[in-house]
Structures are given as C-alpha cells and as structure tokens.
Amino acid sequence: MSRIGKTPIDVPAAVTVDVASDLVTIKGPKGERKIPVRPEIKVELNENTLTVDKNDDGRFAHAMRGTMRSLLNNAIIGVTEGYVKKLEVQGVGFEADLKGKELILKIGFNMPKKYAIPDTVQVECPTLTEIVISGPDNQQVGQVAAEIRKLRKPEPYKGKGIKYADEVIKRKAGKAFGSGG
C-alpha cells in the first residue's frame, strides 16, 4: 500500500496557496499553477502544511489521493525552484538560434525548422548547440523538450540530431568495407 498520499506537504514561506473545493491555486516566485481537484479528494491547508484526504473509501479515491499529493508537491517545487530540461544539437553545421518567441533550428534540412515557443515556458540558447527549457510546470517543460527533440531525433550511426543533455546514444557500427573473398 502506498504511503505517498498520507504524507503532508510543507509549504515554503515564499509560496501562497489558495484552496477551493475544486481548484488549488499555488503562487510563488517562479510563477503560478492552478490544479483542479477531483470530487473524490479533499485538500486542506493548515498553517504551513497541505494535506490530501479522500472523501470515500473506493479504490479510485485511494489511487487519486497519491496522484493529487504528487501533483501538488510538483507544483510547489515548480513555483519555488522551477524545472529545467537541457537539449544538445549535434552535427556538422547544426545550430539553434532564438528570435523573439520562435526557435530557429538549422538541423540538416534545406530550410531551417521553426518552433513557436509557448508562453508557459522560457527557452534560452546559451551557445549554438545548447537549448535550455525552463518553467514552473514540469509537464509543459517536458512536452516542449520532447517536441523540439522530435524535429530531428539523434540517429545511431553518427549521433547527429537533437538529444537530451543526459541522454546516451547507443552507436551502431556501419557497414564493414570490403569482404574477403
């Protein structure tokens, strides 16, 4: 049995939490998150701790209790520290550039690929081969990183493409040149 839902969440001093019957609003220095609350779940704020409880004893309510607690904890971490994903662009002549709210990627196609950056995340290009995506919502940060990576996935022979900074590409051997025979 999971004990995640039972553990209370400590709310830092820089974070304000507003609890309504169907919505929890969390505001912090890095942004604001609104999390809808299912009717099977009850969220309470006591001084500086958030507790999640279930309204009935069904299996679904038990499962949603742990999920809701994790969502609230991730939101508090997001508005205080934020989430970051780093991508690397690898390949000869491959580069990334930022023009306003658009990411311009030269990744081996005849025209540069353009990616419109949503307002919920911030994107930086410290060098021509690095892309840093940050924001308070870990789902949005991961989604934007996955969409950018999808434009040119790393291939296994030369390793060219867009990859996560901590991703390891398993390299394949190419054709053996010449056969004895």
Domains of the chain listed by start with CATH number = 9-80 (3.90.930.12), 83-164 (3.90.930.12)
The predicted-structure confidence for 84-103, as pLDDT tens digits, reads as follows 999 999 999 999 999 999 99
The predicted-structure confidence for 73-86, as pLDDT tens digits, reads as follows 999 999 999 999 99
**8 Å CB contact between 147 and 115:** yes
DSSP 71: H
Count, residues in the chain: 181
Residue 57 confidence class, pLDDT cut points 50, 70, 90: confident
Residue 180 confidence class, pLDDT cut points 50, 70, 90: low
The predicted-structure confidence for 116-150, as pLDDT tens digits, reads as follows 999 999 999 999 999 999 999 999 999 999 999 99
Q: E strand or H helix at 139, and its extent? A: helix 138-150
Handedness of CA 141, 143, 144, 150 (dihedral sign): positive
Amino acid at 79: V
Handedness of CA 152, 153, 154, 157 (dihedral sign): negative
| Burial group, residue 120, by CB count within 10 angstroms (0-12, 13-18, 19+) | middle
Query: Residue 5's pLDDT is what?
Result: 87
Q: Which DSSP string do the residues of 80-132 spell out, in sequence order?
A: HT-EEEEEEEESTT-EEEEETTEEEEESSSSS-EEEEPPTTSEEE-SSTTEEE
